[in-house]
Structure 1
């Protein structure tokens, strides 16, 4: 997979289901189009990983030294609440109520696809975050991309 890309507005029904966008689904490898791991994101969002990408991430995480307290805490926090989800017969994903409550998801959500994951944001929270960050975008671009040949770190 070359990397997921796109921004998709979806509606959640009363049970917390949304129709997985067909354009986004076509970006996934055939083996990864049905099964996902849902987890909390690093901001006020959820993260949906295609299962093949979750397995790669899990393999990397299995190599961290769990004898270090910070590593154990990160591992616990990262995996806390992770849940496998699948598309139903009609192509919908069910977000458990506890996950919806954790990030304040309501009826309108945004799917933000990038690299190997899909973030799920409450629509208004997402646009507030984006609008609040736009004034810093040029500085952020310089900081992150300024030394791209060094992996983006100065």
Structure 2
């Protein structure tokens, strides 16, 4: 992420951070078992990766939470990408093995975009914190939605 932030400083183009959390993931583990929960995490990561650009980076940051770093991404592009990913997750159930039917999942997404005018001073940790706060706002507002964070620069 530091490399993306440095490239943003040099190019003057913003980058985005998306925090994605599976809604009610505990219920998947409780109803289907932890092995099925692990399969759901793998299936989700594949679906997300398939629907991102080659220059975007995705990683699991803990539990059922993923982070996507999107270089050269405006606020509008980040909002559209976040909503597109949310809808793609909802579009069909996830295969978690032959012993289980496909399970539906939804995600909440928090989005933060570095401010173009302040790229020199953009703090990666502040941007992540802003995306995380936006994620909590999306979950508090009812889940299965996106929330935009205020500029973290």
- With normalisation by structure 2, the TM-score equals 0.30
More strand by share: 1
Larger radius of gyration: 1
